[in-house]
Amino acid sequence: MPAPMPEKKFDVINLDPFPAHSGGAAERRQRDADALRTIAEDAITDARTDSEIAREFISHGELGEKSIANTQKELFRFLTWCREEAGKTLRQLTVADLNGYKEFLKAPPQDWISTTKWPRSDPRYRPFSGPLSDASRRQAMIAVKGLFAYATQTGYLRRDPAALVKHVKTASASRITRYLTPDALELALTVVATREALTPASIRRRERDRFLLTTYIHTGARLSEIVGANMGAFYTEGNGRWWLDVLGKGNKPRRLPVPPEMLAAFRQYRAAFDLLPHTARSDDTPLVLSSRGESLVRITDEAASDALKAIFAAAAVAADRLGDADMAATFRQASAHWLRHSMLTNHANNGVQLKTLQETAGHASIATTAAYLHKTDNERHDEILASASLGKEFP
């Protein structure tokens, strides 16, 4: 008989959340007594393998779609490392092993890396696109520590070595620096509004992208909050004020003020898709539509991000033509999330109360919002330079 095919190094590990109702632990213990011999008799888990306890962990919380996807990614990396690098199961891992995984994330081996994002089912898939930053390593270890805590609390594990592993330290910036000035935002809007569009599809794309850019500039919403919304979330209560409802982190609802510029961009965008200027609250048509074809299909977060990056790239070229090398360099670094920083920074510097911005941004702590306030720093900078110039008048 031919020898069995060896397991592929990055074979898919099923980390899909369990359905709400699954078989009981007692039933599995009776069916798979050998597999469960190391699990406590009074365990409150259905899991019999490391991947199953990971699936339960992902299922047990009220995580949003994006949080589930991120946790799946981190635990796939970790469980693959356990199998391929450590050669151990969860219950065999030590504190030293877990600290070793923290170091592994700094510089994964080359055969774990691919700069192209292949689907997990593709043999060319690799878990990493390169070494992780300290912030990314911290998030990775938070997922791992969460899994161990859950496995211990449910009785799947008898001990929690991850509790003795320190979090990855990250440098915390006292001020947000990744933002675009009002002049830069104005240039970006001009670039997308004047983009050549000669076909219905290119017109739809131009108006969609203009609406997308305008919306992020004026709301400071997270990328997924706008992409995940529906047309019916755009509404007025009849008093001249327009709102956009979004779901933030933890599925917390927020409503965001809509200024006239954003409303105008919304109407022009809908017209490009042959839609009426207004819609009903019950309209579940996706808010951000694909410009390809006639069907009304929601684009992905990645597609929205790519659309904004294309605008920034064109704006960088425009800034270079204007002789503003600093602005061009900023555009080349910018990402979609910079628009959130930009909205909060520019409003904070214009004197909008931090409490108002905190509620608009959906920040849990006002200290997070305060990081966007640059006005006092700018005033301090100007005072010091003014004093220095006065000092030159004295011998």
Residue 25 has pLDDT above 70, yes or no: no
Task: Name the average pLDDT for the chain.
Answer: 81
Quote the CA–CA distance of 232 and 246 in Å, as a whole number. Answer: 11
pLDDT band at 314 (very low <50, low <70, confident <90, very high): very high
> Which sign, positive or negative, has the C-alpha torsion 269, 272, 278, 283?
negative
Q: What are 161-185's pLDDT values in tens digits?
A: 999 988 887 665 444 457 788 899 8
Q: What is the DSSP letter of 36?
A: T
2: in domain: no
Residue 270 has pLDDT above 90, yes or no: yes
Residue 35 has pLDDT above 50, yes or no: no
Quote the CA–CA distance of 307 and 336 in Å, as a whole number. Answer: 9
The pLDDT, as a whole number, for residue 219 is 84
My answer on whether 320 and 236 are in the same domain is yes
Quote the CA–CA distance of 38 and 213 in Å, as a whole number. Answer: 55
Residue 267 has pLDDT above 50, yes or no: yes
135: in domain: yes
Q: 86 with 97: CB under 8 angstroms?
A: yes
- For residue 101, the domain's CATH number is 1.10.150.130
Residue-level length of the chain: 395
CB count within 10 Å of CB 176 equals 20
Q: What are 358-379's pLDDT values in tens digits?
A: 766 665 665 555 555 555 555 5
Q: Where is 253: in which H helix or E strand?
A: strand 253-258
User: What SS3 state is found at 149?
Assistant: helix
My answer on whether 217 and 341 are in the same domain is yes
The pLDDT, as a whole number, for residue 179 is 75
Kindly give, in sequence order, each residue whose CB lies less than 8 Å from that of residue 364, ignoring residues fewer than 6 positions away: none
Report the b/e string of 356-367 with b at 16+ CB within 10 A.
Answer: ebbebbbbeeee
My answer on whether 244 and 187 are in the same domain is yes
My answer on whether 249 and 365 are in the same domain is yes
Q: Quickly count helices (H) and strands (E) in the chain.
A: 15, 3
Q: What are 138-151's pLDDT values in tens digits?
A: 889 999 999 999 99
pLDDT band at 33 (very low <50, low <70, confident <90, very high): very low
What value, to the nearest 5°, has the Cα angle with vertex 271 and ends 265 and 275? Answer: 120
Q: What are 95-117's pLDDT values in tens digits?
A: 999 999 999 999 999 999 988 88
Domain count of the fold of the chain: 2
Helix/strand/coil (H/E/C) assignment for every residue in 37-98:
CCCCCCCCCCCCCHHHHHHHHHHHCCCCHHHHHHHHHHHHHHHHHHHHHHCCCHHHCCHHHH
Residue 26 has pLDDT above 60, yes or no: no
My answer on whether 158 and 244 are in the same domain is no
Domain that holds residue 69: 50-164
Residue 199 is encoded by which pair of tokens? 């076909």
Angle of helix 182-193 versus helix 200-219 axis, rounded to 10: 160
My answer on whether 359 and 211 are in the same domain is yes
36: in domain: no
My answer on whether 103 and 204 are in the same domain is no
The pLDDT, as a whole number, for residue 29 is 46
337: in domain: yes
pLDDT band at 293 (very low <50, low <70, confident <90, very high): confident
56: in domain: yes
| Window from 41-45, 74-78, 251-255, 323-327 with minimum mean pLDDT | 41-45
C-alpha neighbours within 13 Å on the C-beta side of residue 1: 3
The pLDDT, as a whole number, for residue 192 is 95
CA dihedral 6, 10, 13, 17 (to 10 degrees): -170
Residue 247 is encoded by which pair of tokens? 């779901």
Q: What are 224-262's pLDDT values in tens digits?
A: 889 999 999 999 988 888 988 988 877 788 888 888 999
My answer on whether 160 and 230 are in the same domain is no
Quote the CA–CA distance of 156 and 90 in Å, as a whole number. Answer: 10
- For residue 244, the domain's CATH number is 1.10.443.10
My answer on whether 157 and 278 are in the same domain is no
Q: Which residue has the higher pLDDT, 216 or 390?
A: 216
Residue that terminates a domain, selected from 133, 164, 195 = 164
